[in-house]
Homo-oligomer: A and B are copies of this chain.
């Protein structure tokens, strides 16, 4: 057995013995896309996902980390092992999370029943979204009862990531202001539960009212959309079923104050209620299926890209094509065509 093989065998053994050191190391291997990371994932993910997955998203400064810490604390007290993944906006130079926000969460990180990991965009081929889903899968297989995912909900990637959970909690603050901004950022469409955090500040109740009205409007238009969509379903667009079922969930808009811990247990109750509703309505199974479908697609695409660009011939062809473009003898598309012609032959 090679040294690497020995290291991996030990890692797998430790992971199965529930060593968090092994979990952390496995996550790094995935984040860095170290050679063989796909094999490691294949070995460690041996059963379907079981953990309850909660996504928490909202604009910067809304107090998401404090809310997550608050929820995790209650879960811990209930004896649930909880894993937290915090996805930070990509910052290629700073290389990840700034410290400011994490103080409260760091207090928790020494608790034995909790595991916290920050992720930033590092991998070159898969992208943050796919890597985060891999990590959630890994933490699920590790045996956490509950997984919490925190993202800044403004970018496309972050939205995609948070949508890969069972229950999406959208956090707003009074001064994050008008409902229009939330709608613009696409947050209205993805929330299962809305939270106005820092509810002691002025404007909280007004925002709660505005959001509730906007959500009612949304439900009406979604209902109309769904009636339309249900026709296309019969032609085989199976994803639409989920949307139809969700029309039954009455989206709550809650007030919280993460610092004084006000409203946190109500929030957790709403999360539990949503989970129960998902299970009973069959929505959980279909969400998991949709999630697996998307993730498999991404894993396949990533491997295709890796295989393609690992070829020295392809890289050479690309650099020669770039020379041609600089010399005015080619364009982006003529070079792409040239490379594809070779690959798809």
Contacts and interface: CB of A to CB of B under 8 A. Distances in A.
B48 A300 contact: no
Interface stretch (A179-187, A193-201, A262-270): A179-187
A326 interface: yes
A280 to B, nearest CB: 17
B343 A61 contact: no
A154 B157 contact: no
Interface in A320-338: 321-322, 325-326, 328, 331-337
A60 B176 CA distance: 10
B299 A336 contact: yes
A336 B303 contact: yes
Interface in A292-345: 292-293, 295-297, 299-301, 303-305, 307-309, 318, 321-322, 325-326, 328, 331-337, 339-340, 343-344
A81 B307 CA distance: 43
A155 interface: yes
A176 to B, nearest CB: 10
A186 B340 contact: no
Interface residues on A, range: 35 or more
A192 to B, nearest CB: 15
B189 A92 contact: yes
A88 B185 CA distance: 8
Contact of A183 (B98, B181, B318, B343): B98
A92 B229 CA distance: 14
Contact of A47 (B89, B127, B185, B328): B328
